[in-house]
Each structure stands twice: as structure tokens, then as C-alpha cells.
Amino acid sequence: MKILLTLSAVCLLFTGCNTKVEKTLQVQTSSSETKLLDGDIIDLTHTFSKESIYWVTAKEFKLDTVAFGETEKGYFYSANNFETAEHGGTHIDAPIHFVANGESVDEIPLTQLIGKGIKIDVSEKAQANRDYQISIEDFTNWEAGNGTIPDNAIVLLETGFSKLYPDKKEYLGTDERGDAAVQKLHFPGLSPEAATWLVKNRNISSIGLDTASIDYGQSTHFQSHVILLSGNIPAFENVANLDKLPVKGFQVIALPMKIKGGSGGPLRIIAIVPNSDK
């Protein structure tokens, strides 16, 4: 069975938006798996649960059961309440997170959240140094073998730390919580110099990585956040399964919860990788 959907229809289903996007998706379903754009769907989202990793000072995810079971009228009924901070698990940072007049999460154009993706793998360097900061050289080395980063690309940075999730101590460097735990955070991130280079020299739509912050764990001024978000480049954090992606040639759909005025929110992000046999 083949179903044709416009991206505007997908947008309405997932985010309730009315943005018009003139593209068409071909969804092919089979008995074994779902195909989109003749490609394999890779889920880049960690499941939200009590195990989800949040910033050490943020409210963690909580799910309360309202009802679960057979009702007196004879039908089954299940419902829950959940509460959570905006920034935890797989989520998005909107520009307003670090920029006073920046876009809130509901104002980010969908064209920045849907598009062609590239992946830069620094996992070997991050494994050797958990405080590694992704450098300009990492980008120029990628370009030497793959060409210039395309305009409007969604850039995904693989450090390998997704494999440590949800072990807080291994993933964050500490399993402690509270203000005192911030100084004990150790994980890779993007250097401010590389963030500046991207904003000034390349025209990317958004950026994401598989750690808890676009700034490395020991950052105290969160310069990469400020640089990227000041350039209206949203950031995705705690992204999963980047090891399943090629370095280029795939599509990304990253749809956050549409919170009015939100500085961020839970994100369902997927990649569509063309079939290798086509």
C-alpha cells in the first residue's frame, strides 16, 4: 500500500501548525517495516521515562497513572499525567533559551526542522577525552572528504555517548543532582570557535548531538549555545542512534512539542536513510 502525504499534512498531525511546505512524502508500508521516501526510518529519539536523563538542576520526567483497566461499563481505559522540564531527554533548544528576543519553540520555522542531514563522527576523539570539544578542523576534515556542508543542512554530531544512555554517571560524568553537581559534568560538546565558524561560514538550519548539551560538560558560560541560538540555529540534545546513520545523503524530521513561548521541549526526531540496494 502506498500513501501520499504533503509535509503540511504531516505538520498538522504532529504539531498542529499551519505552515505550508511544498514537498511530498511517499509512505510505503509493508508487512515488515515502514518505508518513507524509499528509505529506512531510523529513530533518533530516546524513550521518555523515569530513566530519562535531565540536566542535574532540572525537573525529571514523571508519569502518573490516572486510570488503567476495565471500566464499570465494560471497556478498557488507560490515561496518564506527565510532568517534565523542557530540557531533558531528547529535546530541542529554541533560540529564546539563551537569546532574549529569540524565537520560542513554537515559532521555529518547520523548514529548519525538516531537511537534508549530514553526520560528523568524532567518537574516537571523544572516547579518548570525554571533555573533547568538536573543532573547526573536524568540520573541514569532513568537508575534505565529502564536499562543503550543504546550505540548509541539519548537522548531527556523533560523539558515541548515546551508547552510555541512560547511565547518568557514565553519560554525564556524575549521577549526583543539584547545583553542586554542575561542576562534575564531563561530556563532549561543540567548541565556541567551531560554533562561530559555522554561523559565519556555513548556512545550516539546525544542529544536534548525542550528549546532554551542545556545550561540553565543563562549560560555565555556554558560549556555543549563545553563538548558535543568536544565529537562529536551534540545537537538538540527547539525540540517539547516530551510529546508524551514514555521513550524508539522508533526511531528518525533527518535530518538537509545540509549547507556546517555550524555550525548548521534548523532541521526536527521525532520519530517513535511502535503501542501500537502490
Instruction: State pLDDT tens for residues 224-266.
Output: 999 999 999 999 999 999 999 999 999 999 999 999 999 999 9
pLDDT at 22 over 70: no
Q: Which of 3.50.30.50, 3.40.50.10420, 3.30.1310.10, 1.10.101.10 would CATH assign to domain 40-58+86-274? A: 3.50.30.50
Predicted local distance difference test score (pLDDT) of residue 277: 60
- Cα–Cα nearest to 203, from 87, 112, 278, 128: 112
Mean pLDDT over 216-226 rounds to 98
Whether residue 208 has pLDDT greater than 80: yes
**What is the structure's pLDDT at 235?**
98
Q: CA end-to-end span of the chain, whole Å?
A: 19
Residue 2, pLDDT above cutoff 80: no
Angle made by CA atoms 40, 43, 47, in degrees to the nearest 5:
160
What are residue 54's DSSP bridge partners? 88
For residue 145, the number of C-alpha atoms closer than 13 Å in the C-beta half-sphere is 11
Tens of pLDDT along 105-121? 999 999 999 999 999 99
pLDDT > 80? residue 187: yes
Rounded CA separation 160/129 (Å): 12
Domain ranges for the chain, please list them.
40-58+86-274
Q: Which of 29-33, 75-79, 162-166, 251-255 has the lowest mean pLDDT?
A: 29-33
Q: Is the pLDDT of residue 92 over 50?
A: yes
Mean pLDDT, residues 80-103: 98
Q: Looking at residues 195-211, what average pLDDT do you find?
A: 98
Mean pLDDT of 88-104: 98
Is residue 82's pLDDT more than 90? Answer: yes
Location of C-alpha cell 509512505: 27
Whether the predicted pLDDT of 102 surpasses 80: yes
pLDDT value at position 275?
Answer: 82
Q: Find the helix or strand (DSSP H, E) in which 137 lies.
A: helix 136-146
pTM: 0.86
